[in-house]
Amino acid sequence: MSLKSHCKWRERKKILGIVVLVGTVLALAPGRVPGQVRKTCEGGVTLKLNAGITAQGSLLIVEVAEAKPLAELAGDWDGREIPLWREGEKSGSLHGLIGVDLEKPPGRYAWKVSWKNAAGEAKSCSAFVTVRPGKFPTERLTLEKQFVQPDPEQQKRAEEDQKKMRAILENVTPERFWDGKFQVPLKGVTTGGNFGRRRILNGEARSPHAGVDFPALAGTPVFAAQAGKVALAEELYYSGNTVVIDHGYGIYTLYAHLSQIEVKPGDSVTLATELGKVGATGRVTGPHLHWGLTVERARVNALQIVQREP
Ligand SMILES: [Zn+2]
């Protein structure tokens, strides 16, 4: 290597060092979380996302910061409206949650926010999120034939259950019932498993497992994960005795395979409300609690909502 090119290399190393240093300082700047996305838009609007790269089955926390209250503010994620709410009267920012469905095709998606400016002109701004495949294991199960190949009557029942569930989850109550953090519905339990597991039942591929399973003794009390309203409380073919809670803004939690149900549709619940007891009703191999979370119909890992305050 000639002296000249050696010096050039040293020069380059120096520049590289400065770039690395600047990068580190930026990453450590207050209020800046690594991986977070911040998009500055016109009219003093800033879009914030807790992550620019995410995986199937994840929850995204979004925020719109406004210089002054914006008119007709609306959020959209891949063609679905994402509700936005203010924490206080004059907070200067709006909050929202985006659920990335566990079967959402990997790719790049826009979170688009639109509003009207003071002159009444329609404005919009987008931030982008890359969705990567989730790391889900595959499970092979052998179950009684009646549950794998339901007879026509059972099939009809299962389809009716599904239709009913879809109609409930489709509703976006424009009100926030929850206050503070969500909690795991079993006392003293923090971890569960099986979310996203691809199931092969008696050799046939089935829809992925959309909830988190908590092993627990039959009879263990099950509590509401947060305040809300009971949207469903009845026995369903696959999930047995099931309770669905509407927490508002398109957020629902589901509790399945209960031995008994202690609430009824329309009831208001809080963190202290016992919904029922752990059981083994429906399509199960033993007693456990199946806990599901859907955000705007997207099936999300429920444990993600207890890890952060939405
Ligand atoms: Zn389950």
Cα(141) to centroid(ligand 1), Å = 13
Looking at residue 262, its pLDDT comes to 98
* Measured CA distances, 193 to 24, 101, 226, 303 (Å): 36, 17, 20, 9
Same domain membership, residue 80 and residue 43: yes
CA–centroid distance, 75 to ligand 1, in Å, is: 32
Q: Based on the domain organization, do 117 and 153 belong to the same domain?
A: no
Rounded distance from Cα 213 to ligand 1 centre (Å): 5
In a domain, 74, yes or no: yes
Q: How far is the CA of 199 from the centre of ligand 1 (A)?
A: 11
pLDDT digits (tens, 9 = 90+) for 11-54: 444 444 444 333 333 333 344 556 889 999 998 899 999 999 99
DSSP conformation class of 105:
P
Per-residue pLDDT, 207: 83
Mean of the per-residue pLDDT values of the chain: 86
Ligand 1 mean position to 86 CA, how many Å? Answer: 34
Q: How far apart are CA 239 and CA 269, in angstroms?
A: 21
pLDDT band, very low/low/confident/very high, at 124 (cuts 50, 70, 90): very high
Cα 193 from chain centre: 16
Q: Is 170 helix (H, G, I), strand (E, B) or coil?
A: helix
Instruction: Give the max Cα distance, the chain.
Output: 85
Q: Residue 86: which pLDDT band, with cuts at 50, 70 and 90?
A: confident
Ligand 1 centre distance from Cα of residue 182 (Å): 19
In this predicted structure, the answer to whether residue 286 has a pLDDT above a threshold of 70 is yes
Q: What is the Å distance from ligand 1's center to 194 Cα?
A: 7
Q: Is residue 22 part of a domain?
A: no
Query: Is the alpha carbon torsion for 210, 213, 218, 221 positive or negative?
Result: negative
Q: How far does the centroid of ligand 1 lie from the alpha carbon of residue 78, in Å?
A: 28
Could you say which of 97, 114, 132 is where a domain stops? 132
| 209 CA from centroid of ligand 1 (Å) | 6
Phi and psi angles of residue 76, each rounded to the nearest 5 degrees, phi first: -140, 135
> In 3D, which of 130, 93, 127, 97 has the Cα closest to residue 113?
127
pLDDT of residue 255: 98
Average of pLDDT values for 55-66? Answer: 94
User: Where does residue 76 rank: exposed (0-12), middle (13-18), buried (19+ CB within 10 A)?
Assistant: middle
Q: Which of 260, 259, 287, 262 is nearest to 274 (CA)?
A: 262
Cα 239 to ligand 1 centre (Å): 8
Q: Number of folded domains in the chain?
A: 2
Phi-psi region of 240 (alpha: psi -120 to 50; beta: other; left: phi over 0): left
From 92, 88, 47, 89, select the one nearest 66 (Cα to Cα). 92
- Which of 132, 166, 185 delimits the end of a domain? 132
Tell me the whole-structure pTM to 2 decimals. Answer: 0.84
Taking residues 152-168, what's their average pLDDT?
A: 93
Looking at residue 44, the DSSP 8-state letter turns out to be G
- Residue 157 CA to ligand 1 center (angstroms) comes to 19
Long-range contacts of 138-142 (CB under 8 A, 24+ apart): 138/197, 138/198, 138/199, 138/200, 139/194, 139/197, 139/198, 139/199, 139/200, 139/209, 140/199, 140/200, 141/199, 141/200, 141/201, 141/202, 141/285, 142/201, 142/202
State in Å: Cα 244 to ligand 1 middle: 14
pLDDT band, very low/low/confident/very high, at 249 (cuts 50, 70, 90): very high
Q: Which residues contact 96 (CB under 8 A, 6 or more apart)?
A: 61, 62, 63, 64, 75, 82, 83, 84, 85, 249
Residues 142 and 127 in one domain: no
Is the predicted pLDDT of residue 123 greater than 60, yes or no? yes
Q: Which pLDDT does position 17 carry in this prediction?
A: 43
What confidence score (pLDDT) does residue 16 get?
43
Cα-to-centroid distance, 124 and ligand 1 (Å): 40
* CATH number where 127 lies: 2.60.40.1930
Tokens of 195: 């979310």
CA dihedral 264, 266, 268, 274 (to 10 degrees): 20
For residue range 186-242, list pLDDT tens digits in order: 998 888 998 999 888 888 888 899 999 999 999 999 999 999 999 999 999 999 999
pLDDT for 29 equals 39
How high is the pLDDT of residue 79? 86
Q: Which of 132, 165, 190 is the last residue of a domain?
A: 132
What domain range includes position 204? 138-306
What pLDDT sits at residue 5? 41
Of the pLDDT bands very low, low, confident and very high (cuts 50, 70, 90), residue 118 is confident
